[in-house]
Chain A
Amino acid sequence: MTALLPLDDYTLRVVVLGAATLGVVAGALGTFAVLRRQALVGDAISHAALPGVALAYLLTGSKSSLLLMIGAALTGFAAVLLVTAVVRTTRVKQDAALGIWLSVFFGVGLVLLTWLQRRPDASQAGLDRFLFGQAATLLREDVVTMAAAGALALLVLLALWKELKVLAFDHEFGATLGLRMRLVDVVLVGLLVVAIVIGLQTVGAVLMASMIVAPAAAARQWTDRLGAMTVLAAAFGALAGALGAVASAEVSRLPTGPTIVVVATALVAVSLLAAPRRGLVARAVRSRRARERLGLAQVLADLAQLEQVHEGPARGHHAATVGAMEQADVLPALVELERRGLVERTPDDRWLLTDRGRSEVSRA
């Protein structure tokens, strides 16, 4: 059953603002996570943030969004540290270590959450929104907290722009320059933690990681510049956040996280298909044009070869003769060549090179 919620302008504005804020921060920082090939780290952080939310509530009894975010950040960060520790001290590879800790933390989070739900007091109600997100529960104070934390993260990103760029492109080279790449890596993880926890209430732990990956992946299709990619990813993130939040706020029981992620994924799909140069369509057109160009040149060369084989004054040849050489229908190519003035059609329906056609062949 769906029904329109009586959301007034003010509430809607808060919700859209909050969702757009998380989109901007996740998109911009996600750019570096994706380029550093650490997109999965985002997944681990967001899942591992769940027990932090439950613990923060359990310990303080407060549902203030700042406290819950701090709890989420602490467990999210702890999970990444544990992953690093496992990779350093054992032979387990990073993807496996991520998978292990992600499941452990998320499992603990679900247990805590379920247990909290069963407690007799009703004050814990609503914590489950951290699973799939519920933008409609955003308050003005929440958005202010999100914006402040997000702005701080973006400032750090700007300040460490070149260090983060080297980290993502060639961190070993960076280390030989004397730049403290491990520290920069930890800072990047810290920034990702911030980006993720500010989106937790809106998008939820299960899907927040895709807000790190999707806008950046979409943005990469449209530009070859790091700065432009970061700005574009922020814009895509904001767009997905805002559209998804509006949709889920207007339609009851539509969870916000999945809606936002669906919009973000649509942006990725459109970008993969339609982006100029990198997009699939553009690439298909390019390779087809290349094939056609090759085809025209080939047909032209075939005609020249036939001319050489036959002595005496140049005479035309039937399309079928050329076609037999290429084992294909060359008529469209001949028509196109005629349009370009490189061949002409004789009255008895043969095809003859023009002078321009001949010089074109000898040039090639």
Chain B
Amino acid sequence: MTTAALEVTDLTVAYGDKPVLWDVDVEVPVGTLTAIVGPNGAGKTTLLRSILGLVKPAAGQALVLGRPYREQRRLVAYVPQRGSVDWDFPTDVRDVVLMGRYGRIGWVRRPGRRDREAADEALRQLGIEHLASRQISQLSGGQQQRVFLARALVQEAELYLMDEPFQGVDATTELAIVELLRALREHGKTIVCVHHDLQTVAEYFDRVVLLNVRTVAAGTVEEVFTEENLRLAYGGRSAAFGRRNGP
């Protein structure tokens, strides 16, 4: 059996006494596109953040390509939610994208020519090379998302963890992002996205993790993305089928 790109075992996270994630297991094979789906408060973002060491889990561990995340940080790129930063920060698009290189540049040293070339290439891939010197406060939501994706691309990672990359972007950007994710998969990269829109899960992704504090179901879209499982995950209210069975 080949090593999984990401293997989360027995992950438990609690804020105070309240468990946010409880005994979660996730296995993501290399070269796949996985959606993490679940209702609000299911712990989707917390799952990503605890894999990345931004939240300290009470128990459990995350292996990236067979080794603990701490040893594999270089191989993991993170795309946080757009709203997590202040877009009025005084800097431009190219500079934000370059930040993705800071990990490999090392302390004190400045970005070099290779880093700038990587940034330009990522800007081209996302179709925003014309925005390179644009002040970031002047970007639309879709453009902000493209900047974040470009910043992740320059990391040249193997595993991409994305928190709602389609949140609040225009249709053109959504298509561009889907194409980018597929291109990354073609190159053997692995992508895990927290995803909200149940309608597009089957179209965009190969695999699904249905989460609601615990892993409700995980596997390929065909196996897992069933009405039965969705009802389990959403407690009887699954928006995908436009039906409300709640009280």
Please determine whether B84 and A226 come into contact, CB atoms closer than 8 angstroms. no
Near A by CB (< 8 A), chain B positions 92-128 give: 92, 95-96, 99-100, 102-103, 105, 107-108, 110-111
Please determine whether B53 and A173 come into contact, CB atoms closer than 8 angstroms. no
Residue among B54, B92, B108 making CB contact with A175, cutoff 8 Å: B54
Please determine whether A170 and B102 come into contact, CB atoms closer than 8 angstroms. no
- Residue from B53, B77, B103, B151 having most chain A Cβ neighbours under 10 A: B103
Given contacts A162-B102, A175-B53, A178-B74, contact A169 B107 (CB under 8 A): no
Contacts of A160 in B (CB 8 A): 107-108
- Report the minimum CB–CB distance from A131 to chain B (whole Å): 35
- Report the minimum CB–CB distance from A210 to chain B (whole Å): 21
Contact with B along A151-171 (1 / 0, CB 8 A): 000000001101101101110
A224 beta carbon closer than 8 Å to chain B: yes
A323 to B80, CA, bound (A): 52
B144 beta carbon closer than 8 Å to chain A: no
Please determine whether A226 and B90 come into contact, CB atoms closer than 8 angstroms. yes
Residue among A172, A178, A223, A229 making CB contact with B103, cutoff 8 Å: A178
Contacts of B86 in A (CB 8 A): 37, 169
Residue among B92, B99, B111, B137 making CB contact with A173, cutoff 8 Å: B99
Please determine whether A163 and B89 come into contact, CB atoms closer than 8 angstroms. no
Please determine whether A177 and B102 come into contact, CB atoms closer than 8 angstroms. yes
A224 to B137, CA, bound (A): 9
Contacts of B110 in A (CB 8 A): 162
Please determine whether B85 and A159 come into contact, CB atoms closer than 8 angstroms. no
Given contacts A163-B102, A179-B102, contact A173 B91 (CB under 8 A): no
Contacts of A159 in B (CB 8 A): 108
A19 to B49, CA, bound (A): 45
B224 beta carbon closer than 8 Å to chain A: no
A220 beta carbon closer than 8 Å to chain B: yes
B76 beta carbon closer than 8 Å to chain A: yes
B78 beta carbon closer than 8 Å to chain A: yes
Please determine whether A225 and B102 come into contact, CB atoms closer than 8 angstroms. no
Contacts of A166 in B (CB 8 A): 99, 102
A174 beta carbon closer than 8 Å to chain B: yes
- Report the minimum CB–CB distance from A36 to chain B (whole Å): 10
A35 beta carbon closer than 8 Å to chain B: yes
Instruction: Name the residue of chain A whose CB is nearest to the CB of B87.
Output: A169
A176 beta carbon closer than 8 Å to chain B: yes
Contacts of A225 in B (CB 8 A): 90-92
- Report the minimum CB–CB distance from B150 to chain A (whole Å): 13
- Report the minimum CB–CB distance from A134 to chain B (whole Å): 35
Residue among A163, A165, A226 making CB contact with B107, cutoff 8 Å: A163
A225 to B78, CA, bound (A): 25
Instruction: Name the residue of chain A whose CB is nearest to the CB of B74.
Output: A178
Please determine whether B108 and A170 come into contact, CB atoms closer than 8 angstroms. no
- Report the minimum CB–CB distance from A156 to chain B (whole Å): 10
Instruction: Name the residue of chain B whose CB is nearest to the CB of A225.
Output: B90
B67 beta carbon closer than 8 Å to chain A: no
A101 to B61, CA, bound (A): 37
B52 beta carbon closer than 8 Å to chain A: yes
* A–B pairs, 11, beta carbons within 8 Å: A35-B89, A91-B16, A160-B108, A162-B105, A162-B110, A169-B85, A173-B80, A223-B90, A224-B91, A224-B92, A225-B90
Given contacts A163-B107, A177-B99, A224-B91, 13 further A-B contacts (CB under 8 A): A166-B102, A169-B86, A169-B91, A170-B84, A170-B99, A176-B53, A176-B73, A176-B78, A223-B90, A224-B90, A224-B137, A226-B89, A228-B90
> Which A positions have Cβ atoms within 8 angstroms of B?
35, 37, 91, 159-160, 162-163, 165-166, 168-170, 172-179, 220, 223-226, 228-229
- Report the 4 A-B pairs with minimum CB-CB distance, sorted nearest first: A177-B103, A224-B135, A176-B78, A178-B73
